[in-house]
Structure 1
Amino acid sequence: MTRTTEILLAAMAPAIWGTTYIVTSQMLPPGYPLTAAALRALPAGILLLALTHRMPPRAFLGRLFVLGALNFTLFWTALFVAAYRLPGGVAATLGAVQPLIVLFLARGLLGTALTPRRLFAALAGIGGVALLVLGPSARLDPVGVLAALAGAVSMAAGTVLTRKWRPEAPALTFTAWQLTAGGILLLPLAFAFEPPLPALTATHLAGFLWLGLIGAALTYYLWFRGIERLGPETITGLGFLSPLTAVLLGWALLGQALSLTQLIGAAVVLGCVWLSGLPERKGRAG
């Protein structure tokens, strides 16, 4: 399989994650973010465990729960806190620092090259996301800002450690383990802080199925597979596709207008995604 094909497959993950906002706001019962996160992760993990027929080795359980916490429990919890306390544009812009954090963590933990091109793509991508989603009425809430940054750090650390700690197991199996661990850690949070779910409609069920089967099982398999084959420093810039997809869906399905500034931001984001995916020349110093 060519490098371009690998990048396109990995890019499907953040592009699909961009549907999370519209599915959550239009198809799920409001006010259950932790419950929705648990129902997104745990059933998907159990399903993949049933398909792979392989349990994690006992010696790996500690690292596995750290990865599940970073990639799902802490990340999704911080994401929802930020979403509730900040305008969506501010939360998305702060979350866009994740690729930059990944570059520095990958340099320190994996010894990968920290090149000017990758730094430029990460910094310009933050600017592109800001143009795409940041409105003039944006306000800053300290707790929301800290939550957004904590979520970015959590996912960045999980991305790098997924590569550093990858076990001798196929990507699908590793995905099943992480989703299950993250879902197990999310369950007590959902029970502690949220009331029981109301009676679910067919629309609610369709939303949960989309987020679980497509938005978790499929996408995280593609994401972790991309980390394994391309490295976190290569695929992290693909994450800029998530807010781009969200904005385009809002325009296409909800009738939200697109300004010239947003179109410029979209072009910048696509350019940064392209830059991030280019292979580094051999022999370049970090």
Structure 2
Amino acid sequence: MHSTRQAAATVALTALAPASWGTTYFVTTQYLPPGHPMFAGLLRALPAGLLALVIARVLPKGDWWGKAAILGVLNIGALPLLFLSAERLPGGVAATLSAAQPLLVAGLALGLLHDRPTGWRLAWGVLGVLGVGLVVLGPQARLDAIGVLAGLGHTATMAAGVVLTKRWGRPPGVGPLTLAGWQLTAGGLLLLPLTLAFEGTPERIDAGAVGGYLWLGSMGGLIAYTLWFRGIGKLPVGASAPLVLLSPLVAAAIGLGLGESLSASQSLGFVLALGALLAAQLDGPGRIGTRTRETT
């Protein structure tokens, strides 16, 4: 019973990360200056990463300099693709692209972790994508080719980051805050020269934009990635990956809060996506709960 409660608590805390990422689309379109996805990614990553390094006071050693850089590029350095997708697509459509991540993770995990996905989780992964699609895609959805490619690119890099994070784990004595700090800093340092060279800074940053950047860097950055890397270390990769379905569902829920309504098919999709997310936390018929394993 204790292990079941512990597993549920781990899932709930890990789920806060993709739930917070679901607010990115609303914050980007409503508060941030348009046309600056690199700048948004930079402010989401580098200040939070440097703050984490100050708190943890631990730097990588040995081959972890390279590993932290690779993970930083995959998990953090591709953030401009997310903001570009959010700018060019309706929030729900942009968020839907992330729903493909569990299936990408399953394929990469098979090759890199030799972790064969169960038919149970694979089936619910497909149903989860279908459910999210029913919620946010429809005849009125505006599809922009660049936005779609950017969203899929970010989804693919995040999937690779999840699998490599699970494969490499963490060095002895290094906690998830430190790991998040390494990656946020590495990703931010990558984006810094690119932002200055190709995009520059917005001409005007008002109070709303300041609040948006603070939200994305704190809850959507340092806190979310710390919880995410903690969860990846504890949960099976097949259980953690479906949690990203929360991102498009939160984006859709924000739309409801702004006065949008759901049709019958959208309501069905919402229930289906939530059911898929919850079912993926189980091992399948005849097995109870999700086993957790702490990564040192």
The amino acid that maps onto 1:201 is D
Tell me the equivalent position of 2:274. Answer: 270
Tell me the equivalent position of 2:127. Answer: 124
Report the CA distance between 1:137 and its aligned residue. Answer: 3.3
Distance in 2, matches of 1:82 and 1:25, equals: 11
SS at match of 1:277: coil
Distance in 2, matches of 1:139 and 1:20, equals: 18
* Alignment partner of 1:114 is 2:148: no
SS at match of 2:230: helix
Tell me the equivalent position of 2:170. Answer: 167
Tell me the equivalent position of 2:72. Answer: 68
Report the CA distance between 1:63 and its aligned residue. Answer: 1.6
* Contact persistence 1:175–1:224 (CA under 8 A): yes
Distance in 2, matches of 1:101 and 1:25, equals: 27
Question: What is the aligned-residue RMSD (CA, Å)?
Answer: 1.9
SS at match of 2:63: helix
> Aligned match of 1:176 in 177, 181, 199?
181
Distance in 1, matches of 2:42 and 2:217, equals: 10
* Contact persistence 2:25–2:95 (CA under 8 A): no
Tell me the equivalent position of 2:293. Answer: none
SS at match of 1:97: helix
Report the CA distance between 1:82 and its aligned residue. Answer: 3.4
1:1-286 paired onto structure 2 within 5 Å: 2-74=6-78, 76-138=79-141, 140-168=143-171, 169-252=174-257, 254-279=258-283, 281=287
Tell me the equivalent position of 2:291. Answer: none
Listed one character per residue, the Cα deviations across residues 245-278 of structure 1 (whole Å, up to 9, x for unaligned) are 11111211x2222222221111011101101111
Unpaired runs of 5+ residues, structure 1, are: none
* Contact persistence 2:22–2:95 (CA under 8 A): no
* Contact persistence 2:165–2:229 (CA under 8 A): yes
Distance in 2, matches of 1:142 and 1:213, equals: 31
Moved more, 215-224 or 164-173: 164-173
Report the CA distance between 1:244 and its aligned residue. Answer: 0.7
The amino acid that maps onto 1:150 is G
TM-score scaled by structure 1? 0.91
